[in-house]
Structure 1
Amino acid sequence: MKQKEIMIVEDNPDIRDLIGFILTEDAYQLKMCPTAISFQDEIAKKLPDVIVMDIMLPDGDGTDLCRVVKNNPATQHIPVLLMSAHKSELKTETGANSFIPKPFNIIDFKQIVESYL
């Protein structure tokens, strides 16, 4: 059986490491992207099964990136889970499949991600 691939787009290294630790316990293959540019580079190389994306990135806006993913026929099928500490930052009509508030409960986080795999 093919190992599920999750792309994490998070600029905070502590949160990125925590998410990596949580998800590698379950033997998922992870691709970590600290910036919008690194995300764009990586998704052009290989499509993940799920994208977990922070909204506030140093070089871009996760809601805009989500719209790009959801409006592209080649990637629109990929579930996008947006994360933010500020729900007010969530703009409508992003096409995101789910929203994960920060800080998040580890068990809830895993359940949300796994529900899209």
Structure 2
Amino acid sequence: MKKDVLIIEDDEDIRYLIAYVLKKAQYEVRIGASAGDLSSELSVKRPDIIILDIMLPDGNGVELCRKLKEDRLTRHIPVIIMSAHQFSNLEDACADDFISKPFSIKQIVATVERVSG
């Protein structure tokens, strides 16, 4: 069974690039551009993995990640946070992994495979 990955990234080009790469790697992919989209998508179906940008137009990815990990309905979902800015404290964010922008296509797939178990 294909794993379902939810990508929340406000940059359209990056969002579609990651979606394309993961679809080629045989993942089911859903996309969104905001914290509001994250909420909407979670209400429809919980994904197996979330890729979450830190800088969103309507929210902070670190805070959103913490909330996901505090909620009993979503705490089990691995969350990979992404940023173009230096970020060193995964523990504070409660994230399972981090991807630095710019990234390589291989890095995206490898990170998703690593957190998906």
Aligned match of 2:102: 103
- Secondary structure in 1 aligned to 2:2? coil
- Secondary structure in 1 aligned to 2:93? coil
8 Å contact from structure 2 (residues 52, 82) kept in 1: yes
**Is the alpha carbon distance of 1:81 and 1:88 closer, same or farther for their aligned partners in structure 2, counting shifts above 3 Å?**
closer
Deviation at 1:91, TM superposition (A): 7.5
- Secondary structure in 1 aligned to 2:64? helix
* Range that drifts further, 86-95 or 36-45: 86-95
Amino acid at match of 2:82: M
- Secondary structure in 2 aligned to 1:30? strand
Deviation at 1:90, TM superposition (A): 6.0
Aligned match of 1:94: 93
Amino acid at match of 1:66: C
Amino acid at match of 1:61: N
State percent identity of aligned pairs: 41
Q: Deviations over 1:13-44 (max 9, x none)?
A: 00001101110102211110111101111112
- Secondary structure in 1 aligned to 2:41? helix
Q: Runs of 4 or more off by more than 4 Å in structure 1?
A: 88-92
Aligned match of 1:84: 83
5+ residue gaps, structure 2, are none
8 Å contact from structure 1 (residues 8, 33) kept in 2: yes
5+ residue gaps, structure 1, are none
Aligned match of 1:66: 65
Deviation at 1:3, TM superposition (A): 1.7
Deviation at 1:81, TM superposition (A): 0.3
Name the count of aligned residue pairs: 116
8 Å contact from structure 1 (residues 55, 89) kept in 2: no
- Secondary structure in 1 aligned to 2:103? coil
8 Å contact from structure 2 (residues 97, 115) kept in 1: no
- Aligned CA-pair RMSD: 1.5
8 Å contact from structure 2 (residues 90, 98) kept in 1: no
TM-score by length of 1: 0.93
Amino acid at match of 1:68: K
Aligned match of 2:19: 20
